[in-house]
A and B are shown apart, each in its own frame.
Chain A
């Protein structure tokens, strides 16, 4: 299977090309079972693209992506989800017409056979109740998701992810656009989830990173720049250069 025994996700030699532009250029990445991994890097480093490849949204030009020994490339999105990978999006997408509970119930239900779907939902299943509890939206359970605030939507999305009961969670910038208090709560949520899940978090926010990350991978221009624990990565001069250099460009 692989040289790394505890690995849940193994990416080898990954390349993604958009109209001649190499968004990902030979990335190797291994995420072990139970790990909480942060993926950082300046804009355009290929972080989101990496997640897109893992979840089937983008087809790679070369390379392999293995999840618990199963090759993911070429599989369609919902198949990958069924293998046990869940993700969130930078801009949260929840179903505004459905209530919070219905959103969660939907997420929890993909293993149900079609005939079972034809029945009406009665009450709230254990999985949904648990997810509702974790994200703390119990008071809003029967409100349509459309009335939620930005932060609440992000939590609902995370809740939907939990309700899916995946083996690997991929969070794409979960705290982007959040207020300080919301960040705090999201961080706690993350810690709680990470306790019994394998999680990969794409994040921009260095403060958030410092507080909650342990293992960090830095991407730059489609390549892995550095990998290691937070302190080591932060101390790495290449990382500092990339971030400082890039931030100047960002202003342009």
Chain B
């Protein structure tokens, strides 16, 4: 029963995110925009490149969608509204999201296209850059909650949201999340200007639709995760828990989509350099600080 509820709320969430994404990309708010584009995509002819690696070509969008959904499984939208409350929930989220990389690799290698391949390997380089940056803040959050259970983490933020408790961790996590969801300025795999759609370039028709859906779910999951770890999840004064989590998630998603629009696309080498030389030391520092805070504050 709860899974059904979660699924329902997810679809609504995804639709809204799609609307937001359409709004941010082409500037005007049309509530039906995602529906129209989805229908248009479904109508189009689905083309398969001649020398494509069929298995990879077919599996890539599906894998993207499933990994995003699996990620969503451990996110508590409300005190009881969670698919499975794994003991290592936070880690599981990360493990699930790791397969986004695999999906994009397969999408890049499958169609046997130069731009697609370059896009795919670019995303690998990008992942290597921020992979650690996602795990370490989550660890800091788990330290505060002394457990990997996502519900525990939300409960631990009752007094003080983690965004205030460990702001450094929040900033790093938020940037890593944007990179993982390859929204601009981190949209290296589907760089419009350079790679003409990159990984998405070869896909048409249903596969493209699924691909885009997967991406929307991914953005939603990441936003929800940010909310769970740093913005106190479903906790909020007046409104019911699910309303708070919905509002917060949509807000985070919107900021994600809007935040990077103005910045130029970051080149991979810079991303790697900042990730390792700047990001990881800060993350370690953050863990250190959280450790001190946890020991000091009762």
Query: Do chains A and B stick together as partners?
Result: no
What is B's interface to A at a CB cutoff of 8 Å? none
